[in-house]
Every structure is written in structure tokens, then in C-alpha cells.
Structure 1
């Protein structure tokens, strides 16, 4: 995983991400509802959000959970400016790669939306989070499953290697009790394949790679996309969110 490229792509999309990331906003809204339902303490004092991005989920955490201390983290330094209105009064920001960044101990909730799929070694990260949590702490995140953006991967052979829900549960189970786990398929619809590519660029999620377009390859991509992924006169882009809430054993 090229973390520098990922950070660069997301940095370029800071002005457009919140507008274009419609699915990610819905995911964040659902996740905060699940936390409100499943956390025994609905107002944890110390919370960490890794991969906070432009603060979509961060704002919901503050409004709903109302923690005394909220540590926001992102690999992109630009995200601090996106969340500047939240900082102060117990809310702080630290730049860095969450996979290696030391987290404060005795944290009651470590959480994130739509970030874990970018990690190189999630199993190692699961252990590190477990060590930072309090005795009754929770680890809660959303990521994406194997059907995510399958249209792009089928046509370009580029994309992330997503884990299944069962694989994630198996990785977590030695350290956590799974409180809630679910997945869903969320299709988006666009008028043209070019709108799909524009959407991906504006959300920064093209950070995996090295695909270079020529006029011919772009035309072929669009033709194949229309031929294979048209539904009710629109082309589809599949999102496959996974939601997991786990309690430290």
C-alpha cells in the first residue's frame, strides 16, 4: 500500500469529499446509531477516531456520544484544517499513520469509518488497539467488503484486496467479543462511466494506483462499463460496507 499516494489523493479531494462521499456519510450515520444502541456507556469519556478525514463521522461522535476527550487522527495534515472548527474543548488532532502512531492508554472507544481497508497489517493494528483500550473498552469500525467497487476492479484489474466479514471476525475474535457485525450492498447510479470516474476522483479513493489512461483505453473502459453494468438506463457502482462493534476481552 503506497501510503504517500493515498495521502496525496485524499489531500487533493478535501474540498470535494464531503459533497461527493454520499455513501460514506450514510455509513457514518448508521455507525453512530449502532454505537448508540450497543454501547453500555453511551457517553464514553475518552474516544479516538483514526482516519477522521474531513470530519463527517467526527461531528456525529461529538453530537451523539459527547465524549470529554476526542482525539482525531488522519494521515493527511490537511484534515486538521477541515476539522478546525471542532478543535479545542477536549478535541485534539494528531497527524500520522494510525498503523504506527502510539495511541493513549485507557481509551474507552477506538473507532473509525471507511478507513481500515487502506491498512497494510490490520491484524497488528487490532492488537495495538486492544492494548490501548481500557478493560471494558470498545473497538468499532466500518470498512468495505469484497464486492466493493467490483465494476472498477473487473474492468481495470486495479483495486484493494478487501477482507470478508467472516475473515474480519476471525481476526478479531482472539482479542475481542463481537457485539455486532453486519454487511450490506449499496449501489450508486450514474448517467455515464465518466461520472463514475469523476466521483471516485472527487472522493480521493483512487489512491491505490498506477492505472494510466489513454484515449483508447478510456473509450474501451466506458464502452465495457455501459455494456456490463447498466441497470435501468444508468450505470452502477457498488459499495459493500461492513460494520463491526467489538468489546475488549
Structure 2
């Protein structure tokens, strides 16, 4: 397919502080660009000013009215937090123009698997087959790709620092109040399960989806 670089109306869901927004606007232009997140942490005036009209809609993307008639809906690392990501895909279908494009990523079952196996808690992720089915229910053309990225850290404590810095929030809120004994137990268990000769591992399992050709 011919690459599209200009869009009339774009919706970005889960924009955060705008890191993905900045990257995307290096590759595309838009007449109107709508950003959404639970809270407003983005400075619209800091975004590239190329005659694009920006607006921010605050609220839960699963619940609120985000408008319609979009040429592009996109989201980076957001829908894994949703209660019904499958229903959100349906919502995107209804918000897109007939020739609209849906581009997003989420994470698969092996995402941060080391932390989940060590602590016994973490997000529940969907299989790539389940995710593919959501999109194929509403779109004629679905491209889906996954990869597994294994990082190495010196210690489990460095893993925790990394997770905190990246805002992944893979641990439940009680983990923020771990006692010294909790941390020691985590460290011991993590090393016993995931130590290599170079340190300890942490796995990311991103899944990338591009969907087009709305089914009626």
C-alpha cells in the first residue's frame, strides 16, 4: 500500500506526556490532531507547529465521546490497561472514516513475565490470536506482528528501578510499600529464576497492529 503521510483528522489515545506524539509528527502531517488521556500531562504549545489544530480531550477512552470521522486513530502501549480492549476496537471502527487507518500496539502474554512469575501478580495479557480476532471482526486488512525483547540488568533492584522510570507500573500498588524483607525475597527469587552469566533478564513482548478497510 502507498504510504500515507498526510491526514485530515487524527486521534491519539493515551498520549501521556507526548513522546509518541512527537515521534509521529516527524513522519506525518495533519489538519486536526486530537489527543486523549485520563489526565492532561501534555503541553500542546510544545508540539511541532505545522498549521495543525490540536485539541485535548480528557477522560477514559473506553467511556467518553471522542468524536468521529477520523482518518487515523493511533495509540501506543495503552489498550492493555483497558477493561474491554475488544470493545474499544469496535469503538475505533465506528469513529473511523471508511478509508481510515488504525495503528496501535499492545503487549503479549510474555510481557514482563519475569516479574509476574516472581511476584505472582501483574497485568493479564491476551494472546496474539485473540487480539487478531478483535481486529479481523471489523477490518478487512489486518497486519499484526510481535517481537520479544530481552533486556539484561545487573540485579533485580535495577529491574525495579527500570520499571519505575519507564512508568510501566507492572507491579501492583502494594509493591510500592514493600518492606526490606519483601525486597530481599524478590531479589533472591528473581536471581534463582532468571539469572544469566551477564545478569538478570526482563522481557518485553510488544504486538503491533495496522488495520484498514472497515467492514460494514
Common fold by TM > 0.5: yes
Q: How does 1:12-23 map to 2 (within 5 A)?
A: none
Quote the RMSD (CA, aligned, Å): 1.8
Q: Point out the structure with the larger helix share.
A: 1
Distance in 2 (alpha carbons) for counterparts of 1:66 and 1:189: 37
Q: Which residue does the alignment assign to 1:106?
A: 69
Give the C-alpha shift of residue 179 in structure 1: 3.3
**Unaligned 5+ runs, structure 1:** 1-37
Contact residue 25 and residue 48 of structure 2 kept, 8 A: no
Distance in 2 (alpha carbons) for counterparts of 1:164 and 1:204: 23
Pair 39,95 (structure 1): closer, same or farther in 2 beyond 3 Å: farther
Contact residue 50 and residue 111 of structure 1 kept, 8 A: yes
**Partner-residue secondary structure (3-state), 1:64:** coil
Q: Larger C-alpha radius of gyration, 1 or 2?
A: 2
Q: How does 1:1-249 map to 2 (within 5 A)?
A: 40-77=3-40, 79-81=41-43, 83-86=44-47, 89-206=52-169, 209-212=172-175, 213-247=178-212, 248-249=214-215
Q: Which residue does the alignment assign to 1:12?
A: none
Residues paired across the two proteins, number? 210
Distance in 2 (alpha carbons) for counterparts of 1:201 and 1:118: 17
Q: Point out the structure with the larger strand share.
A: 2
Give the C-alpha shift of residue 49 in structure 1: 0.6
Distance in 1 (alpha carbons) for counterparts of 2:138 and 2:131: 12
Contact residue 18 and residue 42 of structure 2 kept, 8 A: no
Contact residue 15 and residue 75 of structure 2 kept, 8 A: yes
Give the C-alpha shift of residue 203 in structure 1: 2.1
Contact residue 15 and residue 37 of structure 2 kept, 8 A: yes
Give the C-alpha shift of residue 145 in structure 1: 0.2
Once the two structures are superposed, residues 175-203 of structure 1 have per-residue CA deviations (whole angstroms, 9 ceiling, x without a partner) of 11243110000111111111111111122
**Unaligned 5+ runs, structure 2:** none
Once the two structures are superposed, residues 9-33 of structure 1 have per-residue CA deviations (whole angstroms, 9 ceiling, x without a partner) of xxxxxxxxxxxxxxxxxxxxxxxxx
Higher RCO (C-alpha under 8 Å, 6+ residues apart): 1
